[in-house]
């Protein structure tokens, strides 16, 4: 503990579980694409809460919605209908692909994945799943069964039971064809693998996954927890591929920063779950619902999907213009961007934060990932690219 460390950092390091590695800064404020630490230093935030602050930190519409709802009603379980929940469900179903009009509400991506797993089992009467190598589905023991990297699963041994999961190489149609059988309840895949290194799927792969699952009576579940809500240049990444899945897991940006998750599905899938077969205390709470209504309306009103498409193309063009022997590839979709280096990315991520005031994150050891708010300005993109070029040299 250095003497300059604040009392906040001291307390957090003292009492936190510390399962998550901590940076030695204390962030106290955010607005749009900028966050400030307790000393008043500003950072352009290309972490955005791991792809949560798509509409920007403290979007005024979301702040107002939270303030208004906080003065009306915070607590109402899903067994008791609520006006804000009805408004949110209508708003959400208004933007999901046609046919995905039944929603299980929860509070995180992992919870959405847990729900998806249970709905798929009751919808098909089957218990096997196909998931992707390099895939990430969450940290709960059920979601971890679909998560590929052993580092996430190792400490828990057999408690992570993935004996009913067949992993296939992301993008490999032959492996996919062989893995989907009449025992398969669902194929789980991210349209762009996020934690797995920012890897967009080929249209052929997702379209074949759709065709094969239909052929074999299995569900196609797209995990849009990181790709959803304008991140990739469409409201949902599925739209790039012209595919309508049987279900989508959603979370992160859906409520403008307030914790939320959802499994959206077809009526066929929803109706096969026995009454009372799943649930949760906070799902559909009025606060998250009010924030979600404001967030989705802001996305639509401000054309954020188009913003992500345009700015993502600009951002990747500028990154590709960097002349550096350290860069292997710049890839991504919309404002979900990864730069794969020929060496470990951690030192550059550290330098960006401490020397340049730019926050970025890893996606596997060699990749620097950029997940800025969609509302980032082109000037801020220029600043980030110039900073990245400096730390590479
Ligand atoms: C610092 C930290 O805890 N980071 C998180 C970052 C997770 C980011 N991804 C979440 C995610 C999840 C899990 O979502 P949630 O439970 O973290 O909300 C599911 N599916 C996809 C495609 C996802 O990207 C972690 O390491 O678990």
1 confidence band (pLDDT: 50, 70, 90): very low
Tokens of 204: 């052929």
Q: 298-321 b/e with 16+ CB inside 10 Å = b?
A: bbeebebbebbbebbeebbebbee
Instruction: Tell me the three state secondary structure of residue 177.
Output: helix
Tell me what the pLDDT averaged over the chain comes to.
Answer: 97
Q: Is the Cβ atom of 223 under 6 angstroms away from ligand 1?
A: yes
Q: Is the Cβ atom of 224 under 6 angstroms away from ligand 1?
A: no
Cβ contact 189:202 at 8 Å = no
Q: Is the Cβ atom of 195 under 6 angstroms away from ligand 1?
A: yes
Give, for ligand 1, the residue of 105, 194, 283 to mutate: max count of ligand atoms closer than 8 Å to Cβ: 194
> Residue 4 has what pLDDT?
57
Q: Is the Cβ atom of 20 under 6 angstroms away from ligand 1?
A: yes
> Residue 299 has what pLDDT?
98
Rounded to whole angstroms, how far apart are CA atoms 243 and 209? 9
Q: Could you read off the pLDDT of 81-130 as tens digits, one per residue?
A: 999 999 999 999 999 999 999 999 999 999 999 999 999 999 999 999 99
Tokens of 10: 């001291």
Q: Is the Cβ atom of 110 under 6 angstroms away from ligand 1?
A: yes
CA of 107 to the centre of ligand 1 (A): 12
Q: Is the Cβ atom of 190 under 6 angstroms away from ligand 1?
A: yes
CA 233 to chain centre: 14
Rounded to whole angstroms, how far apart are CA atoms 67 and 118? 35
- Average pLDDT (47-52) is 98
Instruction: Tell me the three state secondary structure of residue 347.
Output: helix
Helical (H) or strand (E) element with 222: strand 219-223
Residue 11 has pLDDT above 90, yes or no: yes
Q: Could you read off the pLDDT of 170-217 as tens digits, one per residue?
A: 999 999 999 999 999 999 999 999 999 999 999 999 999 999 999 999
Helical (H) or strand (E) element with 386: helix 378-392
> Residue 206 has what pLDDT?
98
Instruction: Provide the 8-state DSSP code for 6.
Output: -
Residue 2 has pLDDT above 70, yes or no: no
Cβ contact 290:131 at 8 Å = no
Q: Is the Cβ atom of 340 under 6 angstroms away from ligand 1?
A: no
CA of 204 to the centre of ligand 1 (A): 26
Reported ipTM: 0.98
Place of tokens 């700015």: 311
- Average pLDDT (330-348) is 98
């Amino acid at each position: 503990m250095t003497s300059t460390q604040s009392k906040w950092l001291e307390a957090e390091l003292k009492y936190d579980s510390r399962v998550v590695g901590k940076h030695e800064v204390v962030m106290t404020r955010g607005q749009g694409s900028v966050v400030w630490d307790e000393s008043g230093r500003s950072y352009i935030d290309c972490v955005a809460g791991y792809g949560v602050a798509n509409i920007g930190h403290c979007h005024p519409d979301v702040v107002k919605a939270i303030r208004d709802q906080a003065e009306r009603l915070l607590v109402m379980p899903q067994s008791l209908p609520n006006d804000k929940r009805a408004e949110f469900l209508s708003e959400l179903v208004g933007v999901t692909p046609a046919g995905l009009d039944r929603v299980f509400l929860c509070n995180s991506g992992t919870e959405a994945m847990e729900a998806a797993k249970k709905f798929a089992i009751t919808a098909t009467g089957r218990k096997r799943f196909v998931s992707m190598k390099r895939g990430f589905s969450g940290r709960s023991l059920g979601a971890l069964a679909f998560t590929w990297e052993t580092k996430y699963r190792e400490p828990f041994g057999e408690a992570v039971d993935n004996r009913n999961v067949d992993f296939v190489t992301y993008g490999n149609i032959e492996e996919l064809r062989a893995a989907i059988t009449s025992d398969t309840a669902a194929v789980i895949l991210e349209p762009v693998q996020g934690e797995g290194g920012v890897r967009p799927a080929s249209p052929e792969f997702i379209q074949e996954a759709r065709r094969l699952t239909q052929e074999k009576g299995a569900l196609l579940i797209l995990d849009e927890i990181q790709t959803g809500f304008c991140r990739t240049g469409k409201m949902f990444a599925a739209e790039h591929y012209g595919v309508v899945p049987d279900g989508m897991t959603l979370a992160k940006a859906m409520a403008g920063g307030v914790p939320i998750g959802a499994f959206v599905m077809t009526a066929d899938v929803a109706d096969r779950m026995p009454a009372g077969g799943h649930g949760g205390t906070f799902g559909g709470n009025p606060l998250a619902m009010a924030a979600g209504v404001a967030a989705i309306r802001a996305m639509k009103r401000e054309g954020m999907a188009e913003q992500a498409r345009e700015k993502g193309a600009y951002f990747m063009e500028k990154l590709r213009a960097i002349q550096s022997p350290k860069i292997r590839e710049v890839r991504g979709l919309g404002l979900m961007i990864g730069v794969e280096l020929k060496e470990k990315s951690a030192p550059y991520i550290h330098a960006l934060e401490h020397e340049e005031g730019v926050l970025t994150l890893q996606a596997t050891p060699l990749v620097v990932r950029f997940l800025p708010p969609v509302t980032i300005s082109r000037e801020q993109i220029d600043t980030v690219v110039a900073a990245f070029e400096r730390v590479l040299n």
